[in-house]
A and B are shown apart, each in its own frame.
Chain A
Amino acid sequence: MIRIEDLHVEIGDREVLRDINLHIGEGETHVLMGPNGSGKTTLIRTIMGFADYHVTEGAIVYRGRDITNLPIHERARYGIGLMFQRPPTIAGLKLGKMLVATSGNRPEEVAEYAAAMNMAEFLERDINAGFSGGEIKRSEVLQLMIQQPDFVMLDEPESGVDLENISLIGSAIAKLLEKDRHIVSRHKSGLIITHTGYILDYIEADAGHMMCDGEIRCHGNAREMLQLIKAKGYRECIECKKI
């Protein structure tokens, strides 16, 4: 589905990512871990194509096509979707209006999905204005449900979400990733950033990657890696340099 090759990324004139290699196959979900400030968000925002993130070396290949220099909306139209860690507020723009604008020809789905995500009352509110942490996550998942991306990137989907909402969000994401389908008929892929791994109670991960200081230092089984981090902290995991 997506292949990242020897990627180097600068923000301003500072190199934030170095020599990133990652391959996610069709139907697979991978987990990205790593300490605060290690570069996880930077990686997925670079994949989405935001202007502040300059690729100085390497390539992002999506479904066989080099998308390294494509504008954001073309990546989105090819099927890449992103759940933001901290989305901006847009004064005056109602969530419902935005959903209709991005839904293509399916405005009727907006009400249905909004109800499913418990967001019906938010459709008339300005996007993200005064939304609580959990409400932002629900709104992000709702936007992805409308968008139906093939490759879904989720930036800390469970952080700041209470138990009841984790189950709501977790199940919705599982559905986005076609986890209800057998692997052979599953075509959606995912990359999930998580610190706690709670989301893995709802979504089975196929692999994990550890990022540290702008590099991916370790690949392995996501649950085992998380357990190790929980038990021994990041240091041990980083120092082992299994890669």
Chain B
Amino acid sequence: MQKDIEELESLSVEDRKRLAISGLELDSLNRCGSFFQIDQEIVHMSCEYEGIEVLTLEGALAKHEWLEQYYWKLVQKDKDEYTRFVADQKHPKGYVVIAKKGSKNILPLQTCLFLAHESIQHVHNIIIAEEGAELHLITGCASSASTEHGAHYGVTEFYVGKNARISTTMIHTWGENIEVYPRSAAKIEENGTFLSNYVAMSPVKNVQMYPVAELVGEHAVARFNSVVVAMPGSCLDLGSRTILSANNTSAELISRAITRGGTVIARAHILGEVEDTRGHIECKGLILEDGIIHAVPEIEGWVTGTELSHEAAVGKIAHEEIEYLMSRGLDEDEATATIIRGFLDVKIEGLPEMLQKQIDAAIDAAESGF
């Protein structure tokens, strides 16, 4: 992607740094491909890897007639004003990624959505992993340091085929006056795995999302992880919902939320519709400065033989923990930072090491700034 560094040269040093924090790598060594959209303009698209096709949404709809069966099938057009806005676009933007049957790549495909000037950036993405395919995505969403106001509406539909695996890691670096309304949904077939990771460490005005994963094939697995920090003035209304509608499916929804003065609503819902299903929700919140953490874990079982559980805890750091580290020579601030870093440390099962490192680095970068 060397060439594109020049294309990106129009961005300020600071903006490039924001993109790097969000996971964008300018040399493509560790990536199997890239998609880069600034406002409504797709400035770059590449994929070196044979088994994966990356197209613009418009291009994909023109090229593959069958894609109609995947377009607006998981997310409803008239769900709300944001989906309607996206649906009303004459020239829909966004990307389509198709991991062909049996293709496996551990290197992630990076997609980057950057808000520079426009008041509303809209995208509609479709991600398909065909039977037996393995696909890892890292999506960095950021706004320019100079963008004062703006909004991002993003519709994403994930299709995880039989024996397939998709991991999607989204790192947000928005600005204080940006509003973000992702609308995504996933459908997971037999023995498929869907991992969704979300990291948001910087200020933002509003993020509201509630992706839904439907486990329709036996032995399908869904795992959602989120690590978020709400700064003063930020409202993060986040959650996810998983429907266990086939036998032997399982789901795990894990969130770590910190408030430094902002609001976090950590929602989660697992619905066990059929027998031999398992689900667990873990919501942990740390209130470092007066703000709001509202955990809403919901578990709903319809039959015998569905096992659902949740644990939720909201509080502050226990002073015994701080004193323990202080007795080993760390001052109070160092001890507090070390404990917070530990709190945010979520090891994600089944995620390639490189992506785990990317998540760790995003958290480190933000934490070292505090």
Contact = CB atoms under 8 A, between A and B. Distances in A.
Contact of A98 (B320, B326, B328, B331): B328
B345 interface: yes
Contact of B327 (A82, A91, A146): A82
Contacts of B328: 76, 98, 102, 143, 146-147
A94 B341 CA distance: 10
A147 B324 CA distance: 13
B201 to A, nearest CB: 16
Interface in A77-95: 77, 81-82, 84, 87-88, 90-94
Q: How large is the interface on B (under 10, 10 to 19, 20 to 34, 35 or more residues)?
A: 20 to 34
Interface in B304-351: 318-321, 323-332, 334-335, 338-339, 341-345
Contacts of A243: none
A230 interface: no
Contact of A71 (B320, B321, B332): B332
A73 B329 CA distance: 5
The B interface, classified by DSSP as helix, strand, loop or mixed, is helix
Contacts of B345: 92-94
Q: How large is the interface on A (under 10, 10 to 19, 20 to 34, 35 or more residues)?
A: 20 to 34
Contacts of A147: 328-329
A208 B345 CA distance: 45
A93 B320 contact: no
Interface string A131-169: 000000000000100110000000000000000000000
A220 to B, nearest CB: 30
B311 to A, nearest CB: 11
B330 A88 contact: no
Interface in A212-232: none
A102 B319 CA distance: 18
A143 to B, nearest CB: 6
Contacts of B330: 73, 101-102
Given A88-B318, A92-B345, A73 B331 contact: yes
Interface of B: 284, 318-321, 323-332, 334-335, 338-339, 341-345
Nearest first, the 3 closest Cβ-Cβ pairs linking A and B are A93-B342, A92-B342, A72-B326
